[in-house]
Structures are given as structure tokens and as C-alpha cells.
Structure 1
Amino acid sequence: MFDIAVIEDAAAAEASLDPTRARLLAALAEPASATMLAARVGLPRQKVNYHLRALEQHGLVELVEERRKGNVTERVMRATAASYVISPTALAAVRPDPSHAPDRLSARWLLALAARLVQDVGSLVTGADRADKRVATFAVDATVRFATAADRAAFANELAATITSLVARYHDESTPGGRDHRVVLALHPGADPAPTSSDTDTDTPTEGH
């Protein structure tokens, strides 16, 4: 079982978003047969079997073992991952395009960049899993509390300048066999508590790329 799996197929995404099937996926963090699962979630076994077949068809659950009980073979299933992320690839016709109207002050452009990040890294993870390899990535997650909006603006400007300098120093267009790496920076208010008016002003760049 993976910690996180990326759903790139539209039909699989639809299956995972069904409330009943989402409950079954959560319950199958621990392997269970349809009978065990039915008792676990309080649904009829026939209904559980129906949904399990759909989830298995889309690769969201997998067979762990088969147990013979009299004339019946009991199939023990498990979710293929502890959690799932739906890639924008699953919504190809309406996925956001970050190249459209890029604006460092726009929260929606930040969402478009985040969606592309999920899509790109998701595709890399899927390919790496198939090849039994790891993806070379690096991430930093930090929280900073600013005393004033002016401090926030100064921080964003200094961060953008530092990253621009680093990119210029290490980028080598002429290296044979070199591979491009994407750098995405984001600065946004915490989602909790609810944003105040100072969180939604536009005096500070919210995204550097």
C-alpha cells in the first residue's frame, strides 16, 4: 500500500468521489473481506461487493489473499493507498492553465500553479512506481507570522530576489544531458482562522516562479 496514490483517470476519479465508495476506501486501510467490510461500515454485503468490484476495476483496491471457506472463496481486499489525490489530468478539458494571465498577486493563479504541481509530480510518481524508482524532489514547508503587511511585503521581495539569484547562478542551458527542474514558491495566509481583510489585500506578491 502506498501512502499517497495519484488518480489520473476520470472514471477512477468519479469512482473515488462516490460517498459510499470513499467510505469503503477509508475502511480498507486494513484488509477485509466483503463480509467483514459490510459489518465494519454497516452496509449489506451485496452492496459492498458491488462497490468493491467497481473500485477494483479502477485500481483503487487490490486483492491481498483468497480464503477458502467450505464451498466459498472469500476475497480479502485492501485499498491501494492510505490516501488519494486527484490529478487535474482527470479533468483534462477544464484543468487550469497557469500560462494564462500569470499574475503573482492572484490567488487563482496560485491555484493554477498548484494544480500543475499536482499534475506534474503525480505523473512523475506514477511513472516512478511503475519503474520501481524514486523521484528526486525537494520541498520546504514553513510558517511565518508577520507583524505588519510591510514586513510581509519585504519578506516576499527578498525571497523572490534570492530565488531569482539562485536560479541565475545554477541554470545552465548548455549542459549536455541536463534536466530542467521546476521551482515553485508560494506565500499565502493560513486557512485557519478565517482570513481577515489584511489577508486579502494585494500589496504583496503571493507567488514567485
Structure 2
Amino acid sequence: MEQQVLETYTVESPEQAMALLNPLRAEILSRLTEPASAAELARAINDIPQRVNYHLKALEKVGLVRRVGTRQVRNLVEVLYQAIARTYILSETLNWPKEAVDRIKDQGSLSHLVTAAERIKRDALVLLEKSDQQEEIPSATVDTQIRLGSREQRSAFVQEYVELVRQLAEKYQADDAGEEPYQVVLAVYPKPAQGGEEE
């Protein structure tokens, strides 16, 4: 049932690019590296199944998710969906002006940042409740700053950053699918100064 998920997919159609700009759709995609139903996703992101199902169908229509099977749950048959990739890169050949492509990339990254921050907050509150019940919750946070002098430096830094994280994840990935999964979220963005301006 589970199908191969690409590590990276290059988005070349405007329809796919626009779908990725929607924060909820980006959130749904990030949770579909393994098959899941609309009901499962709705519980995971604290939303209603009908709304999630609507966005799933929109993502399926533009080819970013696919149906990978069904599952009987009580008297219902749930459709299982899976994303086609773990990460998405906007192609320079979208036939849009470079400024528009750059803006979409920035907006898409910022939308995903907002969605990721909301997910971390929700997950942290759940884990805090478990911690209050004397359950041990291993976690770690890394917070640092770096000054990057040019667009080229920023691009090179992000590429190397992604590759190092990929290598680290591969090195420590447990072979046993029964092991407890850990969520890893890493972000790079300009630090806002007082008053909302970027530093």
C-alpha cells in the first residue's frame, strides 16, 4: 500500500506552486510522508475532516498527493492518501517573472514557517501534559544566529545546511519501524528587529 516518496520534488506547474502557498495544504503535505486518511489528518491538525478532505482533493488534482489504498473503519471505508515527496522546490522554469518566483518562494517558506510554529506549539502543549503526569519526554532545542553577507552566501548556507541534516538523519535513522519517531523541525529566517523590521 505505501508507495515510494521522493526526497525532493521540483514544482514546475503554476497550479502546484499556488497549492503550496496555502499554509493548511503545506501542513497536510508535511504529514503525508506515510499514508493517512482525511479523518486521521483532521485529528492530527485539530481541524474538521470535511475541510481536510476538500484540501486533499485539491492537492490530488494538481498531482501533489495520490490515493494509495482504502481502509475499513467501522461501517465506513476511508481513502488513504500519500504525498509524492518530503520536500518541494519551485522550478525557475515556471514561466513567471523571476521576481514573482522569488516572491512565491519567500511566501511559501514563510507560510510553512508559520504552520510549523503552530504545529510545534500544539505538540509541545500535549507533551507538557504528559510531562505533568511524570512521563519522561526527551526533547532538544537549538537556537542560534548567523550573519550572511549576500544572496549567494544565503543560498549556499541553506543548501549545505539541508545536506548536513539529511546526512545526520540517515546516520541515526533506526531500522526498526517500531521505534518511537521524533519530530525534527529546522528553520532559517531573518530575525525581526523591534518594530517588525528585519535585522
Class of the TM-score when normalised by the shorter of the 2 chains: 0.3 to 0.5
Greater Rg by CA: 1
* TM norm structure 1: 0.45
